[in-house]
Amino acid sequence: MHRITLGKTGIPVSRIALGCMRMAGIGEADAHRLIRTAMEHGITFFDHADIYGGGESERLFAKAAGMSPAIREKMILQSKCGICKGYFDFSKKHILSSVDGILDRLQTDYLDVLLLHRPDTLMEPEEVAEAFSQLKSSGKVRYFGVSNQNMLQMELLQKYLDEPLVANQLQFGIMHTGMIDFGLHVNMKDEASVNHDLGILEYCRLHDITIQAWSPFQYGFFEGVFLDNDKFPGLNQTMDALAEKYGISKTALAVAWISRHPAKIQTVVGTTNAQRLADICTCDNVVISREDWYEIYRAAGNILP
């Protein structure tokens, strides 16, 4: 599988990551098959969070992977913390405690990447910096990033950090294109021209921060998938035709559409079906033409000025 460089780390990572949010809902044998399929197809990056399955997704992952030093060396493990029941918590105490729990469940001594999960408006950036510094010096976490933050939130945090943030995990896909819409509607007064995220796509590209696209097959906020959905006949008709043209499934085409963007976005796919994951990986050598990329964008209901 093709590799992209994770932020400014210089580390090559698979441009498709396996998201493990739903792993707690499958059995150990299926989890083992999923992890094995991922690695056989070149996926070495696994995305977790302490809230996924109440921690059970991390615990099952480690058990199904048969975590050992030899296995761990082949993986890039990322997890997230900061979401609590009814509130967000970026306090030093919570971050440190969360990481200890994550490491215990994943049966590892260190995380490659820790992300702050959603913004916490009560964040004290100096306190976060202290937590990151302690985790780095102890060897528990190698690199740090954020999730769902805009450029000013990142700038505020970065001001106090000793090293650059390496990733920002953001929802992005064919039916969730806000971060690019307004850039195509500059100087317009229509709905698409509204800048909801303060130019987060361009900011991340300027600062060599890897964007990780979550829920690439969803529309709305976990409203469902758009593929083969009767609500989107035009889009699915277009994707049927182009999937046939490129010799891949519509699911793989949806990921290839994301990978085609020059921002070198890493797509986080959350399937728990090993066969579907293998199918998604068939997009690795597909480069969608500029004309076809925009055809899909328009078919999703977007209007070019």
DSSP-assigned letter for residue 287: -
The answer to whether residue 262 is domain-embedded is no
52, 143, 219, 246: the active-site residue: 52
According to the model, what pLDDT value does residue 220 have?
83
Q: What is the pLDDT of residues 105-129, one digit of tens each?
A: 999 999 999 999 999 999 999 999 9
The answer to whether residue 24 is domain-embedded is yes
DSSP bridge pairs for 143:
113
158 neighbors 164 (Cβ within 8 angstroms): yes
Q: Identify whether 203 is a catalytic site residue.
A: no
The answer to whether residue 35 is domain-embedded is yes
Give, in degrees to the nearest 5, the angle at Cα 256 between 253 and 259.
160
What is this structure's pTM?
0.96
Domain that includes residue 62, residue range: 3-225
The answer to whether residue 260 is domain-embedded is no
User: Comparing C-alpha atoms, which of 95, 83, 28, 93 is closest to residue 56?
Assistant: 28
pLDDT lower than 70: segments of the chain: none
Query: Quick one: how far is CA 60 from the chain centroid?
Result: 20
According to the model, what pLDDT value does residue 57 have?
98
Query: Quick one: how far is CA 299 from the chain centroid?
Result: 24
According to the model, what pLDDT value does residue 186 have?
93
52 neighbors 23 (Cβ within 8 angstroms): yes
Domain count, the chain: 1
Written as six digits, the tokens of 203 are 């900011």
Greatest CA separation for the chain: 56
The domain that holds 178 is classified in CATH as 3.20.20.100
The answer to whether residue 258 is domain-embedded is no
According to the model, what pLDDT value does residue 198 have?
86
Q: Going by DSSP bridges, is the β-strand pair 87-88/83-84 parallel, antiparallel, or unpaired?
A: antiparallel
Please enumerate in sequence order all residues whose Cβ is within 8 A of that of 137, keeping only pairs 6 or more positions apart, or say none: none
DSSP bridge pairs for 227:
none
Buried b (16+ CB within 10 A) or exposed e, 111-141: bbbbbbbebbeebeeebbbebbeebbeeebb
Q: How far apart are alpha carbons 282 and 176 in whole angstroms?
A: 23
Q: How far apart are alpha carbons 181 and 142 in whole angstroms?
A: 34
* DSSP track, 144-159: EEEES--HHHHHHHHT
Q: What is the pLDDT of residues 231-268, one digit of tens each?
A: 999 999 999 999 999 999 999 999 999 999 999 999 99
Type of residue found at 275 = Q
Please enumerate in sequence order all residues whose Cβ is within 8 A of that of 286, keeping only pairs 6 or more positions apart, or say none: 246, 247, 248, 252, 253, 256
The answer to whether residue 220 is domain-embedded is yes
The answer to whether residue 273 is domain-embedded is no
The answer to whether residue 185 is domain-embedded is yes
